[in-house]
């Protein structure tokens, strides 16, 4: 009789140990993922600092014909967004191209949007992968126009735009 109780207790202890081992493994994976995200964010900040310091070279080629004197500096996959109730809706997928004169949203080989850099007052990064290029419709009333994009590395985009617009990007 005692052998049966001991066997049941042993089975319960082994099952509990397995659950604990699985939970520890899940926690290790979660911690490794968190560290990877922190490292990626820090790497993005460091690369943004290098861009602001002028250490980023222009791209060797651009996906569209640029005007004389215009140079491509950053090309990234992106999606144009439209604000909705509590979030955003993707309108179209394409690429954002930052040049020394404009920010282009390209999709299917076509320029869907061109925003001259002299019109951009600032770049907002409200979420980890969302940026808003902010312009003023009227400098007297300071009414803002925001163009929203989803990008993988918003700090890099903001740094390139900041270089050509003249606003200060603070990477604290």
Cβ–Cβ under 8 Å, residues 116 and 135: no
CA atoms of 164 and 52, how far apart (whole Å): 10
87-116 pLDDT tens trace? 888 999 999 999 999 999 999 889 999 999
Looking at residue 39, its pLDDT comes to 57
How does residue 75 score in pLDDT terms, banded at 50, 70 and 90?
very high
As a whole number of angstroms, the distance between CA 35 and CA 25 comes to: 15
Q: Residue 43 — very low, low, confident or very high, per pLDDT cuts 50/70/90?
A: confident
* pLDDT at residue 148 in the model: 92
62-94: b (≥16 Cβ within 10 Å) or e:
beeebeeeeebbbbbebbbbeeeeeebeeeeeb
More confident residue, 101 or 125: 101
Report the predicted TM-score, pTM, of the whole model to 2 decimal places: 0.71
Domains of the chain: 72-165 (2.30.29.30)
Share of the chain above pLDDT 70, in %: 92
Average pLDDT over residues 141-158: 87
pLDDT above 80 for 137: no
pLDDT for 13 equals 85
Between 164 and 139, the higher pLDDT residue: 164
């Amino acid at each position: 009789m005692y052998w049966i109780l001991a066997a049941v207790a042993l089975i319960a202890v082994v099952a509990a140990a397995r659950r604990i081992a699985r939970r520890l493994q899940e926690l290790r994976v979660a911690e490794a993922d968190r560290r990877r995200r922190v490292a990626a964010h820090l790497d993005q900040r460091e690369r943004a600092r290098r861009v602001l310091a002028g250490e980023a070279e222009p791209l060797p080629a651009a996906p569209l014909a640029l005007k004389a004197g215009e140079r491509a500096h950053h090309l990234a996959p992106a999606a144009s967004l439209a604000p909705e109730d509590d979030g955003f809706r993707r309108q179209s997928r394409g690429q954002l191209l930052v040049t020394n004169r404009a920010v282009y949203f390209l999709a299917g080989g076509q320029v869907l949007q061109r925003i001259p850099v002299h019109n951009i007052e600032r770049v907002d990064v409200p979420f980890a992968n969302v940026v808003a290029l902010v312009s003023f419709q009227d400098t007297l009333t300071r009414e803002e126009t925001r163009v929203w994009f989803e990008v993988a590395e918003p700090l890099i985009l903001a740094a390139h735009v900041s270089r050509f617009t003249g606003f200060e990007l603070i990477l604290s």
